[in-house]
Amino acid sequence: MALHRLKDDYTNKVKEYHPKPNYMMNCIKAFVVGGLICTLGEVLTKMYIHYFDFTEKNAGNPTITTLILLSAILTGLGVYDKLGQFAGAGSAIPVTGFANSMVSAAMEHRSEGIVLGIATNMFKIAGSVIVFGVVGAYVVGLIRYTWKLLQ
């Protein structure tokens, strides 16, 4: 019992000295950086439509690919990690954050070899996202299909 009380006392003492996060500033940073990433996506989409004669429907695929490529390159150069520390969820939630998590995991384990290091560990983080994305898409597809049958 005394050990439990000692542990609680220690936790309370640590909380006194722990810096308080500025939630409002963190939200603003996330909003601005996430918005800038999305704005870049819109600029790329318009570029693909205007210069490469893509339709608005088809311009999304090269836009996403370009954003993923840019994110992977910036992760390899160490820039995206600094952006992530600054922006938090603003850089983690778009598709660029997904690419960053895969490249970071691959870079961390590259000393273990291509197969057992890079290929195996790259999908530890991203694997669950891919699985839940596919399952979610399947469920939404079933709901949409059932809805169309009922109408």
In terms of Cβ atoms closer than 10 Å to its own Cβ (0-12, 13-18, 19+), residue 96 is buried
pTM of the model: 0.72
What mean pLDDT comes out for the span 89-111?
83
What mean pLDDT comes out for the span 25-33?
94
- Residue 123: pLDDT over 80: no
**pLDDT score recorded for residue 8:** 75
Could you tell me which residues come within 8 angstroms of residue 90 by beta carbon, excluding any fewer than 6 positions away?
Answer: 29, 30, 31, 32, 33, 34, 35, 37
Residue with the larger pLDDT of the pair 106 and 25: 25
Query: Considering the chain, what is the average pLDDT of its residues?
Result: 87
Q: Which two tokens stand for residue 128?
A: 């669950």
**pLDDT score recorded for residue 57:** 92
List % helix, strand, coil for the chain (3-state, nearest 5): 85, 0, 15
CA atoms within 13 A on the CB side of 105: 16
Q: Grade residue 94 by pLDDT with cuts at 50, 70 and 90.
A: confident
